Amino acid sequence: MISTVLFDMNDVLCRYDREARIAYLARAAGKSPSFVEAAIWGSGYEDLGDSGAIDAENYLAGFAERLGGLTLDAWTRALQAALTPLPKALELAAAVARRASVAVLTNNNLLVEREIDAVFPELRPIFGSNIFVSAEFRARKPDPEVYRRCLARLGAAPETAMFVDDSSSNVAGAERAGLSGFLYSDADVLAERLRRAGLLPLGE
């Protein structure tokens, strides 16, 4: 029986538009989009943050340094510009939460964890305190350790958990950790899988 469902965030619970984020950052920093892309993503800096190697304050300081200066407000607004909540998926998560434990597990840094209520306020009413970033666990998806450490925090066993993600490699990592994996493509397909697992009423 599945009693815990972990949801990826980007492109499952929200649409993530990295190009929109880069464009906002470029305007805020007075740089070209290609400069921003290379400085943050091409350099591996974003992956470093996701791995938990740096705390929230140092992540923001390093981010700003690479762009030649940036405020927390600009960083937050850039991420807000990139995220569009996906109502059907959020509604499914809320429905599952009435029958099982639900949580978010996203490859992200500790500043995202700290500012999540500002950038994605729709999460907290559904997931409560169960909103986790990979940096907390010092491992990134698809490393099986990140799923195990997240479930340990929740007090759940892998064999009782399902993981939902739009990345096949991340789903495969969850399955290597002993979870049931689901490759997300569409909210209606996910709803059918959740019904089969007894996590949604047949008519919902």
Contacts of 115 (CB under 8 A, 6+ apart): 72, 76, 79
In this structure, the answer to whether residues 21 and 67 fall within a common structural domain is: yes
pLDDT tens per residue, range 146-157: 999 999 999 999
User: How many domains are contained in the chain?
Assistant: 2
Question: Is residue 158 very low, low, confident or very high in pLDDT (cuts 50, 70, 90)?
Answer: very high
Q: 164 burial class (0-12, 13-18, 19+ CB within 10 angstroms)? A: buried
Mean pLDDT of 4-29: 98
CA 149 to chain centre: 15
Both 75 and 111 in one domain: the answer is no
Q: Is residue 38 part of a domain?
A: yes
- The Cα–Cα gap between 144 and 173 comes to 5
List the structure tokens of 138.
């010092």
Examine residue 146 and state whether it is found in any structural domain, yes or no: yes
Rg (CA), the chain: 17
Looking at 57, 82, 107, the residue that finishes a domain is 82
Please tell me what DSSP assigns to residue 10: B
Per-residue pLDDT reduced to its tens digit, 161-184? 999 999 999 999 999 999 999 999
pTM here is 0.95
Final residue belonging to a domain, choices 46, 65, 82: 82
Of the candidates 82, 104, 126, which is a domain's last residue? Answer: 82
In-domain check, residue 204 = no
